[in-house]
Structure 1
Amino acid sequence: MRTVAALLFSLLLIGCSKSQKPADPAASEIRRLLATERGAIQLAQAADSLLSPELLRLFYEPREFDPAWSDASGTLASVDSLRAVVRSADREGLEPREYHIDAIDALAAKLQVSDQEALLSIRAELDLLLSEAFMLYACHMTEGKVDRDSLRLRRSFGREKRWYAELLERAVGSQNVGSTLGSLAPAHSWYRTLRDLLGHFQAQAKIGMSSHVPSGSAIRPGETGRSVFALRNRLLALGDLHPRSGSTSDEYDSTLVDAVRIFQKRHGYEPSGVADSATIAALNVRPQKRVDQIKATMERWRWMPHTLGRKHVIINIPDFKLSVVENGRAVLTMKVVLGLPNWQTPVFSSAMEQVLFNSPWMAPEDIVEKELINYMKADSNYLPSNNMSLWRRSGDSLVRIDPRTINWSEMTPEKIDFFLRQEGGPQNIMGQVKFLIPNKYNVYLHDTPYREDFPKNVRMFSHGCIRLEKPLDFAEDILQQFPEWTRARIDTVVAHKTENSIRLRKTIPVHVVYSTIWTANDGSIQLRDDYYGLDRRLSELMRQTPRR
């Protein structure tokens, strides 16, 4: 009996084995197309080419080149999901045509009418185009279309390539292609509101500008004429002037003054109420330029961490502001002074690790070479009057040197073999407290003795570091991790000029961003000038399409 049962079980297994899904004939065609050693693959059926055969092999080899997007009965539902995502790529500031959408649509149509001889080739090419479109879109959403370091169109995948292949395998395996790609966008309100703004300005760009303010002399309160009428119409179109105020008057009255001030505040200008040249130029910016501005800003956000942290610090360079954010709400906001145009504050993310009170400052080499050496050569009293000293390396230690032993008349940046140190205290360039955020740019958040810059509207005066308007308020907030570090204790340490170092128990994310457009909490559209020219350069790249 047992022998008969075993025989029957074996026959059943053989039957099951024979009933397993046979190899898809398109697999051999996919294998053949991916056999090229390197370079792009020009496709025969599609007027397109595959840019990443190496990445495609990482996906197809483990699945024995089995098609992912179709079977003998036709395309799977995932195809429509991917096509829908790609067609809406412009909502993310990206171009649908860069993800093979034209070739995909053409091949999908061919599937319905082609003979059996061409069908396998069409299925194979369509499968490869869909897979590359998925992974390329995923790369652009997670890392950006433009490489942030080289500022060139991305030619490779910055992440481990296998990550994209595994992401695709999970997406097609679970039939969740659309939701998988949708989850890759930055998850914070800065990005989400930009997506809404992009749609608004894209619609405006199709319509065009309904009004234009003549450039030239400033337009002032009390004036009348066609320029005032144009100014009124433009502010009405932008929403800074309420429609009930009336649009027929050509007088620069108090209502118009208020509207100009609202517009100026939204743009980070001094709210003078006078339509000066900068205000008029901003009024006349075309919607398409705003579209380009938003696309560049969205791209930079894709370079940053996609979640900012429950508690985080964010510094927006064009706004010259810092905010401490907890659970989506700003609990502390202050002005900051940032880098000069030729000493730009970089865009980066890090995590604050340490708070230092009254610590000495070791001047960075480039600041010594480009600036401080000139002060030392011009004034023999510069070092002692600023509580500074010079040091030279001797073995594993630093030895203080007498500046009188240096021939300053022959000193050039190339000959500098010393370090400059400034003692801690209120005179220190870093002020009396600084906050360490490890980064390759040697940038700190810190106090400053130069308080006169904070009332200014445009605050670009540093060598790249971030000077804080309210450093002690900031320290008090950051040091909430330590109950013993009360505001009274902080004030005592500062007053007594006592050196202290506090390593945070829990690091705090710090994001230095460059956003020239965003939506404020009150719903107003905030805009800032492109002080470093980053929007202009990135917009040019975003308009380009990688060569196929």
Structure 2
Amino acid sequence: MLLPLRTSFLFPALTALAVGLAAPAQADTYDMRFPAFAQAVAEAAVDNEEVAAFYREIDYAPVWTGQSNGERARLVALLQAIGSAEAHGLPVTNYDTDRLLASMRDVSSQRDLGRIEVELTGLFLTYAHQIQTGILIPKQIDRNMARDPNRRDGTELLQSFLAADNPEEFMRSLVPTSEEYARLMRKKLELERLLAAGGWGPTVNAGALRPGESGPAVVALRNRLIAMGYLGRSATMTYDADIQRAVQMVQEDMGFEPDGVAGPNTIQAINTPIGERLKSVIVAMERERWLSIDRSQRYVWVNLTDYTARIVDGGKITFETRSVIGQRAADTQSPEFSDVMEYMEVNPAWNVPRSISVGEYLPGMIASGGASAAHLQLIDGAGRVVPRSAVNWGAYSARNFPYDLRQPPGRGNALGLVKFMFPNRFNVYLHDTPSKSLFLRERRAFSHGCIRLQKPFEFAYALLAAQTDDPQGTFHRVLDTGQLTRISLETPVPTHLVYRTAFTDARGRMNYREDVYGRDAKVWNALVQAGVTLPGLES
């Protein structure tokens, strides 16, 4: 039966949302002999096939606007859930409960009630999709954000909700359950409170500060560190040991070398406005909604902005190494996606991508009559090595060059001595490199898109430890042959290339990284376009 709107069951449960709500008008009684309600539902749902299909299956019965206990419970559960939308960083403009409740109050016919019914269903689907799999579609923002959130079918989602014994429990189940999401949400609320209280105070007006110095800039640094929670109460005017330790903590949280000297990068990080950090956390929450993975099993986690690759077992980091990622140019950036690592190739050959062959090597080879890039073999369509002396270099250009380039296995190979394969359309993988000096830099965006590892052998040992008692011996027996050999992983390992400029570490502390490819700025702008705002701050 439909809700006789003169009753007031809804009001005590939704006092916070409907303070001062006047008694609504009487609605007609639900009667399928006069299906005005059903007709209104069908008309209102005509542009949404998922909703229309759902109501057809339940013969246009009310889900929210009836007077049974189940319908009342569903309505209360929905409105309570959307009351937390802002806390999750969802666009509050999508959840105008004041207008909705005013419409409910003004219902005077079955047709009015049918329209409200469908509006509530649309509200449910908007919330369910946004909270569970995100507000945005990543690949529409940047082609290298190739993650595909597993958006549930609306009809199936509604059917599941209708079958739930406890509507409130069902609504809670839509919220991401990862510990990281919960920590990010807590940080969001904390930063909002600090922002409302005035933020972290005046910035530090200095290019760099060092231990032993004193003066107004050191006082500003001290005060900023206290406000940010890195330093206890202090009246010192000198860059003392306590300030140095606090600066080191900041540097650790920013991915800098923790030398305790407040250099330009450290000063810039300390001066970053609280609103900017809040944006990063909100973006990280959205990204976490895109990624629904099983964190109870082993997986590989490559955070591009952190320049690290990790093996995680049961939520614990069991191996970590520095990485080099793709250069900042659009065609060399490392993409974001998830796949499954199936095997490693020991003593790999490098099959040079076509874009690199003709864009970087071919001009020099043509100019030198084939003398340059002598470390690369020419490979014809049948897979045979072609002698360079047999090639008429003057006859070819980037458009008609008929050969592939390949570097055979060896210590000077661009892939080093091992690569780790999770076959994907980007032809991106993790691998060794002979260019070891790049790992000493803080910013490490130098590759053509693949991920280079500082400790590839140790990474291989950690992977193989799951299937052999002698992972090091197993690996080196193959390596010592000098021959390209595949070692399969008996249990393939989910591998996630992610992009997080805000994340928590094992200590629960918030970390921030540079938006190296500018993708988070794009995500934030898209969130703003969708209606996300920063409370009390112009977005």
Q: Normalising to structure 1: TM-score of the pair? A: 0.83
User: Partner of 1:150 in structure 2?
Assistant: 140
> Map of 1:329-348 to 2, 5 A cutoff?
329-342=316-329, 343-348=332-337
Opposite residue 420 of structure 2, the aligned amino acid is F
- Name which of 54, 63, 81 aligns with 1:59: 54
User: What's the offset of the Cα at 1:67?
Assistant: 1.3
- Name which of 297, 302, 307 aligns with 2:294: 307
Q: Percent identity?
A: 28
Say if 1:213 and 1:36 are closer, same or farther in 2 by CA, change over 3 A.
Answer: closer
| 1:388-435 deviation digits (Å, cap 9, x = unpaired) | 211222xxx334333344454675432333211111222221111111
Say if 1:120 and 1:175 are closer, same or farther in 2 by CA, change over 3 A.
Answer: farther
The question of 1:202 aligning with 2:192 is answered: yes
User: What's the offset of the Cα at 1:176?
Assistant: 3.1
User: Partner of 1:482 in structure 2?
Assistant: 467
User: What's the offset of the Cα at 1:194?
Assistant: 1.2
| 1:455-492 deviation digits (Å, cap 9, x = unpaired) | 22221111111111111111122223432763113123
User: What's the offset of the Cα at 1:377?
Assistant: 4.3
Two-structure CA RMSD over aligned residues (Å): 2.7
Say if 1:466 and 1:160 are closer, same or farther in 2 by CA, change over 3 A.
Answer: closer
Say if 1:484 and 1:211 are closer, same or farther in 2 by CA, change over 3 A.
Answer: closer
- Name which of 511, 515, 524 aligns with 1:539: 524
Opposite residue 367 of structure 1, the aligned amino acid is I
When structure 1 is superposed on structure 2, of 322-331 and 97-106 the one drifting more is 97-106
Say if 1:99 and 1:272 are closer, same or farther in 2 by CA, change over 3 A.
Answer: same
When structure 1 is superposed on structure 2, of 272-281 and 343-352 the one drifting more is 272-281
The question of 1:264 aligning with 2:251 is answered: yes
User: Partner of 1:91 in structure 2?
Assistant: 87
1:201/1:291 contact within 8 Å kept: yes
Say if 1:86 and 1:122 are closer, same or farther in 2 by CA, change over 3 A.
Answer: same
Question: Over alpha carbons, which structure has the higher Rg?
Answer: 1
Secondary structure of 1:35's match? helix
| 1:156-175 deviation digits (Å, cap 9, x = unpaired) | x98677x3212212213335
> Map of 1:132-143 to 2, 5 A cutoff?
132-143=122-133
User: What's the offset of the Cα at 1:254?
Assistant: 2.8
When structure 1 is superposed on structure 2, of 502-511 and 28-37 the one drifting more is 28-37
Say if 1:36 and 1:190 are closer, same or farther in 2 by CA, change over 3 A.
Answer: closer
1:27/1:124 contact within 8 Å kept: no
User: Partner of 1:35 in structure 2?
Assistant: 43
User: What's the offset of the Cα at 1:88?
Assistant: 0.5
1:338/1:466 contact within 8 Å kept: yes
Secondary structure of 1:273's match? coil
User: What's the offset of the Cα at 1:350?
Assistant: 0.6
User: What's the offset of the Cα at 1:319?
Assistant: 1.0
Say if 1:366 and 1:189 are closer, same or farther in 2 by CA, change over 3 A.
Answer: farther
The question of 1:232 aligning with 2:217 is answered: no
The question of 1:529 aligning with 2:519 is answered: no
1:186/1:306 contact within 8 Å kept: no
User: Partner of 2:353 in structure 1?
Assistant: 364
Structure 2, unaligned runs of 5 or more:
1-28, 143-147, 533-539
User: What's the offset of the Cα at 1:258?
Assistant: 2.2
1:308/1:509 contact within 8 Å kept: no
- Name which of 104, 120, 123 aligns with 2:113: 123
- Name which of 274, 278, 285 aligns with 1:291: 278
The question of 1:519 aligning with 2:507 is answered: no
Say if 1:222 and 1:72 are closer, same or farther in 2 by CA, change over 3 A.
Answer: closer
Distance in 2 of aligned mates of 1:275 and 1:88: 39
2:301/2:309 contact within 8 Å kept: yes
Opposite residue 369 of structure 1, the aligned amino acid is V
1:26/1:123 contact within 8 Å kept: no
User: Partner of 1:6 in structure 2?
Assistant: none
1:318/1:528 contact within 8 Å kept: yes
Structure 1, unaligned runs of 5 or more:
1-20, 40-52
Say if 1:304 and 1:365 are closer, same or farther in 2 by CA, change over 3 A.
Answer: farther
Distance in 2 of aligned mates of 1:309 and 1:398: 43
User: Partner of 1:18 in structure 2?
Assistant: none
> Map of 1:151-170 to 2, 5 A cutoff?
151=141, 163-170=153-160
Say if 1:160 and 1:273 are closer, same or farther in 2 by CA, change over 3 A.
Answer: closer
Say if 1:439 and 1:478 are closer, same or farther in 2 by CA, change over 3 A.
Answer: same
- Name which of 241, 257, 260 aligns with 1:254: 241
Opposite residue 104 of structure 2, the aligned amino acid is A
The question of 1:389 aligning with 2:384 is answered: no
Say if 1:235 and 1:382 are closer, same or farther in 2 by CA, change over 3 A.
Answer: same
The question of 1:68 aligning with 2:68 is answered: no
Say if 1:278 and 1:392 are closer, same or farther in 2 by CA, change over 3 A.
Answer: same
User: What's the offset of the Cα at 1:382?
Assistant: 3.6
1:295/1:542 contact within 8 Å kept: no
Distance in 2 of aligned mates of 1:404 and 1:23: 90
User: Partner of 1:491 in structure 2?
Assistant: 476
Opposite residue 287 of structure 1, the aligned amino acid is I
User: What's the offset of the Cα at 1:381?
Assistant: 3.9
User: What's the offset of the Cα at 1:30?
Assistant: 4.5
The question of 1:456 aligning with 2:441 is answered: yes
User: What's the offset of the Cα at 1:62?
Assistant: 0.6
1:208/1:287 contact within 8 Å kept: no
Opposite residue 391 of structure 1, the aligned amino acid is I
Opposite residue 206 of structure 1, the aligned amino acid is A
Secondary structure of 2:493's match? strand
Distance in 2 of aligned mates of 1:24 and 1:93: 41
Opposite residue 263 of structure 1, the aligned amino acid is V
Distance in 1 of aligned mates of 2:123 and 2:183: 26
Distance in 1 of aligned mates of 2:240 and 2:509: 23
1:28/1:65 contact within 8 Å kept: no
Distance in 2 of aligned mates of 1:333 and 1:100: 46
Distance in 1 of aligned mates of 2:427 and 2:514: 26
Opposite residue 343 of structure 2, the aligned amino acid is Q
Say if 1:329 and 1:160 are closer, same or farther in 2 by CA, change over 3 A.
Answer: closer
Q: How many matched pairs?
A: 495
Secondary structure of 1:146's match? coil
User: What's the offset of the Cα at 1:325?
Assistant: 0.9
Distance in 2 of aligned mates of 1:214 and 1:25: 74
